[in-house]
Copies of this chain bind each other. A is one copy, B any other.
């Protein structure tokens, strides 16, 4: 069955690969799956046709025959569960991989997203400059703990898994802040993720969409 995902017609990051379709593209590339992409303009994100696929009006979505999924974590898990390469076969290692998937999205990403929210939605507020260090320190708390657990290992738990795919993707959002560079082992971990051929193909595919000159 053919797979179709949605992505921004034009990503707000201008092709840095930080929109969530890159995570799904990466998982599809790791699994060696072909896929189609339907680009969604901003004006259509909150309209009925797209909301039927994604109740929160975001991208990506995933369509495969009768199946419609949203939520990047769940799409990556579906790909990982139905194809080799992203989930260990051993039952305990598999459960731990799923733990890291949730940890990436539910424990590490929220303070990182708060930094983006502070800049995008509250950057013009009188409290922005004074509040920013509080937001940044909440990120540092998580990164310190994550770096402690990773130690000098290559990946979070044995071989590369969907847990690493999501954790690397989450940490990539920090690069422009400079905070990631305060944690050399995490910066190296992210670089290992980016060096994977499947990530390279996913990045190039989203860049081909987002680096196009604006129409007209």
Contact = CB atoms under 8 A, between A and B. Distances in A.
Contacts of A107: 56, 58, 71
Nearest to A150: B55
B56 A73 contact: no
A71 B103 contact: yes
Given A56-B145, A74-B95, A105-B105, 4 more contacts: A68-B96, A71-B103, A72-B106, A102-B105
Instruction: Report, as a range, how many residues of chain A touch the other chain.
Output: 35 or more
- Oligomer copy total: 2
A84 B183 CA distance: 43
A114 B78 CA distance: 29
A69 B95 contact: yes
Contacts of A114: 114
A199 interface: no
Interface string A115-151: 0000001100111001100100000001001101100
Interface in A41-69: 51, 55-58, 66-69
A39 to B, nearest CB: 22
A99 interface: yes
A99 B70 contact: yes
Contact of A149 (B55, B92, B105, B121): B55
A77 interface: yes
Q: Name the 9 nearest CB pairs between A and B, nearest first.
A: A127-B127, A55-B149, A73-B102, A74-B99, A71-B102, A74-B102, A105-B106, A67-B92, A110-B110
